[in-house]
Amino acid sequence: MADHEYTSLSDLHMAGELVIYPGKDGRLRVEARLYDESLWLTQKQMAELFGVTVPTINEHLKNIFQDNELQEEAVIRKFRITASDGKRYLTGFYHLDAIISVGYRVNSVHATQFRQWATQVLREYIVKGFAMDDERLKNPPVAGSGVPDRFDELLERIRDIRASERRMYLRVREIFTLAADYQPSLRETTRFFQTMQNKLHFAVAGMTAPEIIARRINHLMPNAGLTSWAGDDVRKRDVTVAKNYLSENEIRELNRIITMWLDFAEDQAERRKQVFMADWQQKLDDFLKFNDRQILPDAGKRTRKQADAIAYAEFEKFAERRREEKEALGAIENIRELESTARMLESKPGKAKVDTPSKSEGDAE
């Protein structure tokens, strides 16, 4: 790995800095100045951060590596710096993962504060499913500081979550119940959701959800033509989700449209606008037309039942081909392992040659 040049130690310190302090609400806060997508501190800087000596930090790092909690080569980077005496030194800096691990082992007031803050964040993540630094997101980094702004990434992830089929179905059902002529019926709600889903998919891909599934699944293609799925491998449940076949650009477009549509529908609902069930389809068409999107003219050329049947049939062919490929690969690996074992035995020192004993004259036939 190449050395990293800095003109002074203070410049490097600005590229890697961690501050622990109590916020206005009394909760502890941690601010980090990142370099290359992480935080890098020397043992001396860690000692200052946690209020202990350098030998203490060194001892904890040794234990961390001995316990295989972290791999030493993965969390250390050498930076070449020019110190105040004008000389250049190659100095070891430790990754954020190592800093966190040390913080959980050190016994000091500052380390205790760090653990209290980390517990706050972890508790919020476990209870709510997310944890955010509101102040950091409200105040973007200064231009030219080299600190990445994650706000757009956050928005895109939120759009993706809101556009997920289960989440969208729940929101649509809630909005649907506010219709003036709403009658509780799972069948009616499901039909409306499918109609809305088809209109949104057509606006992006020029096909309804069933048409996307029927046209894009192919057992001969990698992953049967899917671009995304739950888990490590494509499963039967994945092949009947139209969104799983969309390209990255199509997914971004779909997420944006769904987010805008839900915002519009929620605004209508919160203002207690009297809307009848039949009105929602026209409102969606008007919304798509306003955004210069394609409008679905009919119910489409495929039904959900037809698309699911095609998807399941193609998946069975794909699954069979995948099994055959895995079995063939396993057979090759077994042969290689046997060959490797044979070579090891042949090269073993002091291996005696075993001869078949010959019969003596007195041996019986």
Which region among 22-26, 118-122, 123-127, 174-178 has the lowest average model confidence (pLDDT)? Answer: 22-26
Is residue 328 situated within a structural domain? no
Q: How confident is the model at residue 360 (pLDDT cuts 50, 70, 90)?
A: very low
Regarding whether 89 and 14 lie in a shared domain, the answer is: yes
Q: Is the domain of 113 the same as that of 243?
A: no
What single-letter amino acid sits at 28?
Answer: L
Say whether both 177 and 301 belong to one domain. yes
- Tell me which of 1-10, 50-59, 160-169 is least confident: 1-10
Percentage of residues in the chain having pLDDT higher than 90: 37
Helix and strand counts by DSSP (H, E) for the chain = 14, 5
Report, as an integer, the average pLDDT of 112-129: 91
CA 259-127-172 angle, 5° bins: 25
Better-scored residue on pLDDT, 75 or 87? 75
Mean pLDDT, residues 31-53 taken together:
80
Cβ atoms 167, 258 nearer than 8 A: no
Q: Is the pLDDT of residue 153 over 90?
A: no
Question: Is there a single domain that holds both residue 139 and residue 211?
Answer: no
Secondary structure, 3-state, 4-27:
EEECCHHHHHHHCEEEEEECCCCC
Residue 107 shares a structural domain with residue 183: no
- 288 in a structural domain: yes
> Where is pLDDT greater, at 16 or 272?
272
> 6: pLDDT confidence band, cut at 50, 70 and 90?
very low
46 in Cβ contact with 57 (< 8 Å): yes
Same domain, 39 and 105: yes
- One domain, residues 144 and 219: no
> What are the start-end ranges of the H helices in 51-164?
54-66, 72-75, 96-103, 109-128, 134-138, 151-162
204 and 75, same domain (yes or no): no
Same-domain check for residues 190 and 302: yes
Residue 32 has pLDDT above 90, yes or no: no
Instruction: Name the pLDDT band for 67 (thresholds 50, 70, 90).
Output: very high
In a domain? residue 332: no
In a domain, 338, yes or no: no
The span from the first CA to the last CA of the chain, in angstroms, equals: 73
- The stretch 109-118 carries a mean pLDDT of 89
Residue 353 scores a pLDDT above 60: no
On whether residue 54 sits in a domain, the answer given is yes
Query: Averaged over 323-342, what is the pLDDT?
Result: 81
Of 129, 149, 169, the last residue of a domain is 149
Which has the minimum average pLDDT: 73-82, 94-103, 230-239, 273-282? 273-282
- Percent of the chain topping pLDDT 70: 82
Quick one: pLDDT at residue 270? 79
Cα dist from 248 to 210, 219, 245, whole Å: 19, 21, 10
What angle (nearest 5°) sits at the alpha carbon of residue 30, between those of residues 27 and 35?
A: 165
Between CA 187 and CA 175 the distance in angstroms is 16
- The reported pTM is 0.62
Q: Which two tokens stand for residue 103?
A: 């913080």
Could you tell me if residue 357 is inside a domain? no
Helical segments of 129-240, H only:
134-138, 151-162, 165-176, 186-205, 209-216
Q: pLDDT (tens digit, 9 = 90+) per residue, 173-205?
A: 777 777 777 776 667 777 888 888 899 999 999
250 and 134 assigned to the same domain: no
Whole domain around residue 58: which residue ranges?
A: 4-149
Q: Quote the mean pLDDT of the chain.
A: 82
User: 290: buried, middle or exposed (CB in 10 Å: 19+, 13-18, 0-12)?
Assistant: exposed
Whether 352 is in a domain gets the answer no
| Whole-number Å distance between alpha carbons of 327 and 236 | 20
Summarize pLDDT for 274-311 with one digit per residue, the tens. 778 778 888 899 999 999 999 998 888 899 999 999 99
> Left, alpha or beta for 259 (phi > 0: left; psi -120 to 50: alpha)?
alpha
34 and 165 in a single domain? The answer is no
- Supply the pLDDT for residue 347: 74
Name the residue with higher pLDDT: 333 or 102: 102
Structurally, how many domains does the chain consist of?
2
Q: How confident is the model at residue 5 (pLDDT cuts 50, 70, 90)?
A: very low
Domain membership flag for residue 141:
yes
pLDDT at 320: 94
What's the CA gap between 244 and 307, in Å, rounded? 14
298 vs 357, higher pLDDT: 298
Q: What is the pLDDT of residue 33?
A: 58
On whether both 208 and 308 belong to a single domain, the answer is yes
What's the pLDDT at 100? 93
